Amino acid sequence: MKLILHVWRQKNSSDKGRMVRYDAPNVNEHMSFLEMLDVLNESLIAKGEDPIAFDHDCREGICGMCGFMINGKAHGGFKRTTVCQLHMRHFKDGDELYLEPWRAAAFPVIKDLAVDRGAFDRIIASGGFISVPTGSAPDGNAILVKKQESDLAMDAAACIGCGACVAACPNAAAALFVGAKISHLGHLPQGQPERDRRALAMVQQMRAEGFANCTNIGECEAVCPKDIKLEVIARMNRDYIGASLTERPESTTAGAG
Ligand code: SF4
Ligand code: FES
Protein backbone atom coordinates (compact mmCIF):
# COMPACT_ATOMS: atom_id res chain seq x y z
CA MET A 1 0.00 0.00 0.00
CA LYS A 2 0.99 3.61 -0.40
CA LEU A 3 0.79 6.14 2.43
CA ILE A 4 1.23 9.87 2.65
CA LEU A 5 3.05 10.92 5.81
CA HIS A 6 3.23 14.38 7.30
CA VAL A 7 6.05 14.30 9.83
CA TRP A 8 7.06 16.92 12.37
CA ARG A 9 10.65 17.90 11.61
CA GLN A 10 12.50 19.93 14.23
CA LYS A 11 16.29 20.17 14.35
CA ASN A 12 16.51 20.79 18.11
CA SER A 13 14.59 22.22 21.05
CA SER A 14 15.09 25.81 19.91
CA ASP A 15 14.12 25.23 16.27
CA LYS A 16 10.55 26.27 15.39
CA GLY A 17 9.82 23.01 13.55
CA ARG A 18 7.41 22.28 10.70
CA MET A 19 5.44 19.52 9.07
CA VAL A 20 7.11 17.86 6.07
CA ARG A 21 5.25 15.63 3.60
CA TYR A 22 6.72 12.27 2.56
CA ASP A 23 5.36 9.58 0.24
CA ALA A 24 5.77 6.04 1.55
CA PRO A 25 5.23 3.63 -1.36
CA ASN A 26 5.29 -0.16 -1.01
CA VAL A 27 4.34 -0.32 2.65
CA ASN A 28 3.94 -3.97 3.64
CA GLU A 29 1.00 -4.71 5.94
CA HIS A 30 3.22 -6.99 8.06
CA MET A 31 5.62 -4.16 8.91
CA SER A 32 5.43 -2.51 12.29
CA PHE A 33 4.95 1.24 12.27
CA LEU A 34 8.60 1.75 13.25
CA GLU A 35 9.78 -0.60 10.50
CA MET A 36 7.79 1.49 8.04
CA LEU A 37 9.69 4.55 9.31
CA ASP A 38 13.00 2.61 9.08
CA VAL A 39 12.33 2.01 5.38
CA LEU A 40 11.42 5.66 4.85
CA ASN A 41 14.62 6.68 6.66
CA GLU A 42 16.73 4.40 4.45
CA SER A 43 15.33 6.14 1.38
CA LEU A 44 16.01 9.57 2.94
CA ILE A 45 19.60 8.57 3.73
CA ALA A 46 20.07 7.26 0.18
CA LYS A 47 18.99 10.68 -1.09
CA GLY A 48 21.41 12.42 1.27
CA GLU A 49 18.60 13.76 3.47
CA ASP A 50 18.42 13.80 7.26
CA PRO A 51 16.53 10.73 8.58
CA ILE A 52 13.55 11.21 10.89
CA ALA A 53 14.54 10.90 14.56
CA PHE A 54 12.29 8.78 16.79
CA ASP A 55 12.88 6.92 20.04
CA HIS A 56 12.77 3.13 20.30
CA ASP A 57 14.58 0.27 21.99
CA CYS A 58 12.86 -3.06 22.70
CA ARG A 59 10.21 -2.84 19.96
CA GLU A 60 8.26 -5.33 22.08
CA GLY A 61 6.06 -2.92 24.03
CA ILE A 62 7.98 -3.25 27.28
CA CYS A 63 10.69 -0.58 27.51
CA GLY A 64 8.63 2.60 27.13
CA MET A 65 11.05 4.30 24.77
CA CYS A 66 8.80 4.64 21.74
CA GLY A 67 5.84 6.93 21.37
CA PHE A 68 4.51 9.78 19.28
CA MET A 69 1.18 11.05 18.06
CA ILE A 70 -0.43 9.54 14.96
CA ASN A 71 -3.28 11.68 13.68
CA GLY A 72 -3.53 13.35 17.09
CA LYS A 73 -3.68 10.11 19.08
CA ALA A 74 -0.94 8.91 21.40
CA HIS A 75 0.64 5.68 20.05
CA GLY A 76 -2.00 5.85 17.28
CA GLY A 77 -4.96 5.33 19.61
CA PHE A 78 -5.14 1.53 19.39
CA LYS A 79 -6.13 -0.20 22.61
CA ARG A 80 -3.20 -1.41 24.74
CA THR A 81 -0.73 -0.88 21.88
CA THR A 82 2.56 0.97 21.84
CA VAL A 83 3.61 2.42 18.51
CA CYS A 84 6.35 -0.24 18.19
CA GLN A 85 3.67 -2.93 18.41
CA LEU A 86 1.36 -1.22 15.95
CA HIS A 87 1.28 -2.95 12.56
CA MET A 88 0.56 -1.49 9.18
CA ARG A 89 -2.37 -3.84 8.58
CA HIS A 90 -4.42 -1.35 10.62
CA PHE A 91 -4.05 1.22 7.85
CA LYS A 92 -5.28 1.23 4.26
CA ASP A 93 -3.94 2.28 0.90
CA GLY A 94 -3.93 6.05 0.45
CA ASP A 95 -4.16 6.88 4.17
CA GLU A 96 -2.70 10.21 5.14
CA LEU A 97 -0.99 10.16 8.54
CA TYR A 98 0.24 13.07 10.66
CA LEU A 99 3.10 12.20 13.02
CA GLU A 100 3.97 14.58 15.86
CA PRO A 101 6.03 14.33 19.04
CA TRP A 102 4.52 14.31 22.56
CA ARG A 103 3.49 17.90 23.26
CA ALA A 104 4.22 18.96 26.87
CA ALA A 105 6.41 21.69 28.31
CA ALA A 106 8.01 19.12 30.61
CA PHE A 107 8.97 16.99 27.58
CA PRO A 108 11.06 19.30 25.37
CA VAL A 109 11.60 18.09 21.81
CA ILE A 110 15.13 16.77 21.25
CA LYS A 111 14.67 16.27 17.53
CA ASP A 112 11.70 15.49 15.26
CA LEU A 113 9.59 12.88 17.09
CA ALA A 114 12.02 12.32 19.98
CA VAL A 115 11.38 14.14 23.27
CA ASP A 116 13.34 14.41 26.50
CA ARG A 117 11.53 12.42 29.22
CA GLY A 118 14.24 13.03 31.80
CA ALA A 119 11.52 14.57 34.00
CA PHE A 120 10.16 11.04 34.56
CA ASP A 121 13.63 9.81 35.55
CA ARG A 122 13.99 12.63 38.07
CA ILE A 123 10.58 11.84 39.58
CA ILE A 124 11.63 8.19 40.01
CA ALA A 125 14.98 9.24 41.48
CA SER A 126 13.17 11.41 44.03
CA GLY A 127 11.45 8.44 45.67
CA GLY A 128 10.36 5.67 43.30
CA PHE A 129 12.38 2.96 44.97
CA ILE A 130 12.67 0.86 48.13
CA SER A 131 15.84 1.32 50.17
CA VAL A 132 17.35 -1.98 51.28
CA PRO A 133 20.36 -2.72 53.45
CA THR A 134 23.20 -4.50 51.72
CA GLY A 135 23.87 -8.15 52.50
CA SER A 136 22.60 -11.45 51.26
CA ALA A 137 19.26 -11.57 49.49
CA PRO A 138 16.34 -12.24 51.85
CA ASP A 139 14.28 -15.40 51.44
CA GLY A 140 11.62 -14.69 48.82
CA ASN A 141 8.92 -16.15 51.08
CA ALA A 142 9.99 -14.34 54.26
CA ILE A 143 7.46 -11.54 53.76
CA LEU A 144 4.06 -12.79 52.67
CA VAL A 145 2.02 -10.56 50.35
CA LYS A 146 -1.75 -10.91 50.03
CA LYS A 147 -2.85 -12.02 46.57
CA GLN A 148 -5.12 -9.01 46.10
CA GLU A 149 -2.32 -6.61 47.05
CA SER A 150 0.25 -8.33 44.86
CA ASP A 151 -2.16 -8.19 41.92
CA LEU A 152 -2.70 -4.46 42.42
CA ALA A 153 1.05 -3.89 42.76
CA MET A 154 1.72 -5.84 39.56
CA ASP A 155 -1.02 -4.00 37.66
CA ALA A 156 0.55 -0.64 38.60
CA ALA A 157 4.07 -1.93 37.91
CA ALA A 158 3.03 -2.52 34.29
CA CYS A 159 3.61 1.20 33.59
CA ILE A 160 6.49 1.47 31.13
CA GLY A 161 7.01 5.24 31.50
CA CYS A 162 6.24 5.99 27.87
CA GLY A 163 4.65 9.37 28.56
CA ALA A 164 1.51 8.88 26.44
CA CYS A 165 -0.62 9.82 29.45
CA VAL A 166 1.07 13.22 29.64
CA ALA A 167 0.80 13.78 25.89
CA ALA A 168 -2.91 12.95 25.83
CA CYS A 169 -3.81 15.03 28.89
CA PRO A 170 -5.09 18.57 28.17
CA ASN A 171 -3.28 19.65 31.34
CA ALA A 172 -0.09 17.74 30.47
CA ALA A 173 -0.42 16.13 33.89
CA ALA A 174 1.79 13.21 34.92
CA ALA A 175 -0.62 11.94 37.58
CA LEU A 176 -1.22 8.52 35.97
CA PHE A 177 2.50 7.82 35.71
CA VAL A 178 3.32 9.06 39.23
CA GLY A 179 0.23 7.36 40.64
CA ALA A 180 1.30 4.07 39.06
CA LYS A 181 4.78 4.29 40.56
CA ILE A 182 3.49 5.25 44.02
CA SER A 183 0.85 2.48 43.92
CA HIS A 184 3.22 -0.18 42.70
CA LEU A 185 5.49 0.18 45.73
CA GLY A 186 2.77 1.25 48.17
CA HIS A 187 0.83 -2.00 47.77
CA LEU A 188 3.80 -4.07 48.95
CA PRO A 189 4.86 -4.55 52.59
CA GLN A 190 8.43 -3.69 51.58
CA GLY A 191 7.19 -0.29 50.38
CA GLN A 192 5.56 0.76 53.66
CA PRO A 193 8.49 2.25 55.64
CA GLU A 194 9.11 4.94 52.96
CA ARG A 195 5.50 5.32 51.79
CA ASP A 196 4.91 8.83 53.19
CA ARG A 197 8.30 10.17 52.19
CA ARG A 198 7.91 8.65 48.72
CA ALA A 199 4.52 10.27 48.08
CA LEU A 200 5.69 13.68 49.24
CA ALA A 201 8.94 13.59 47.29
CA MET A 202 7.50 12.28 44.02
CA VAL A 203 4.55 14.68 43.97
CA GLN A 204 6.83 17.61 44.78
CA GLN A 205 9.21 16.59 41.98
CA MET A 206 6.27 16.17 39.58
CA ARG A 207 5.28 19.78 40.27
CA ALA A 208 8.86 21.03 40.04
CA GLU A 209 9.15 19.48 36.57
CA GLY A 210 6.22 21.57 35.32
CA PHE A 211 3.48 18.96 35.04
CA ALA A 212 0.05 20.41 35.77
CA ASN A 213 -2.54 19.03 38.18
CA CYS A 214 -4.99 16.30 37.28
CA THR A 215 -8.61 17.37 36.72
CA ASN A 216 -10.02 13.87 36.21
CA ILE A 217 -10.51 14.09 32.46
CA GLY A 218 -9.38 10.50 31.92
CA GLU A 219 -7.59 10.85 28.58
CA CYS A 220 -4.53 9.29 30.24
CA GLU A 221 -6.30 6.04 31.06
CA ALA A 222 -7.85 5.93 27.58
CA VAL A 223 -4.48 6.01 25.80
CA CYS A 224 -2.32 4.09 28.26
CA PRO A 225 -0.87 1.07 26.44
CA LYS A 226 -0.56 -0.78 29.75
CA ASP A 227 -4.12 -0.20 30.94
CA ILE A 228 -3.13 1.73 34.06
CA LYS A 229 -6.33 2.75 35.82
CA LEU A 230 -7.33 6.15 37.24
CA GLU A 231 -7.54 4.52 40.69
CA VAL A 232 -3.76 4.94 40.98
CA ILE A 233 -4.27 8.72 40.94
CA ALA A 234 -6.76 8.49 43.81
CA ARG A 235 -4.24 6.41 45.72
CA MET A 236 -1.48 8.93 45.03
CA ASN A 237 -3.69 11.70 46.38
CA ARG A 238 -4.61 9.70 49.48
CA ASP A 239 -0.96 8.91 50.21
CA TYR A 240 0.08 12.49 49.57
CA ILE A 241 -2.65 14.02 51.74
CA GLY A 242 -2.01 11.51 54.51
CA ALA A 243 1.72 12.20 54.45
CA SER A 244 1.13 15.96 54.30
CA LEU A 245 -1.10 15.89 57.38
CA THR A 246 1.49 14.07 59.43
CA GLU A 247 4.65 15.62 58.04
CA ARG A 248 3.71 18.94 56.42
CA PRO A 249 0.35 20.28 57.66
CA GLU A 250 0.53 23.30 55.33
CA SER A 251 0.64 21.16 52.14
CA THR A 252 -2.16 21.17 49.59
CA THR A 253 -3.49 18.22 47.61
CA ALA A 254 -1.60 16.78 44.63
CA GLY A 255 -4.58 17.27 42.36
CA ALA A 256 -8.05 15.88 42.01
CA GLY A 257 -8.48 12.15 42.16
S1 SF4 B 1 0.78 5.34 32.89
FE2 SF4 B 1 0.54 4.34 30.86
S3 SF4 B 1 0.71 6.01 29.37
FE4 SF4 B 1 1.54 6.78 31.31
S5 SF4 B 1 3.75 6.41 31.23
FE6 SF4 B 1 2.81 4.61 32.26
S7 SF4 B 1 2.44 3.16 30.58
FE8 SF4 B 1 2.78 5.15 29.57
S1 FES C 1 10.33 0.38 21.71
FE2 FES C 1 10.10 -0.44 23.73
S3 FES C 1 8.00 -0.12 24.18
FE4 FES C 1 8.17 0.53 22.10
What's the gap in Å between 139 CA and the centre of ligand 1? 32
Q: Strands 3-9 and 18-24, how do they pair?
A: antiparallel
Distance CA 87, CA 108 (A): 27
Which residue's alpha carbon is at the smallest distance from atom 4 of ligand 1? 165
CA-closest candidate to residue 105, choices 179, 209, 18, 206? 209
Q: Strands 96-100 and 3-9, how do they pair?
A: parallel
Q: Report phi then psi at 210, rounded to 5.
A: 100, 10
Cβ 113 vs Cβ 102: under 8 Å: no
Distance CA 188, CA 184 (A): 7
Q: Can you give the pTM of this predicted structure? A: 0.93
Which ligand is closest in space to the CA of residue 104? 1
Tens of pLDDT along the chain (257 residues) come to: 999 999 999 999 999 999 999 999 999 999 999 999 999 999 999 999 999 999 999 999 999 999 999 999 999 999 999 999 999 999 999 999 999 999 999 999 999 999 999 999 999 999 999 998 778 877 878 889 999 999 999 999 999 999 999 999 999 999 999 999 999 999 999 999 999 999 999 999 999 999 999 999 999 999 999 999 999 999 999 999 999 988 654 444 454 44
Judge if the beta carbon of residue 61 lies within 6 A of ligand 2.
yes
Which ligand is closest in space to the CA of residue 59? 2
Q: Which residues line ligand 1 (CB under 6 A)?
A: 159-165, 176-177, 180, 224-226, 228
What's the gap in Å between 56 CA and the centre of ligand 2? 5
- Helix ranges restricted to H, 89-194: 118-127, 147-157, 164-168, 175-186
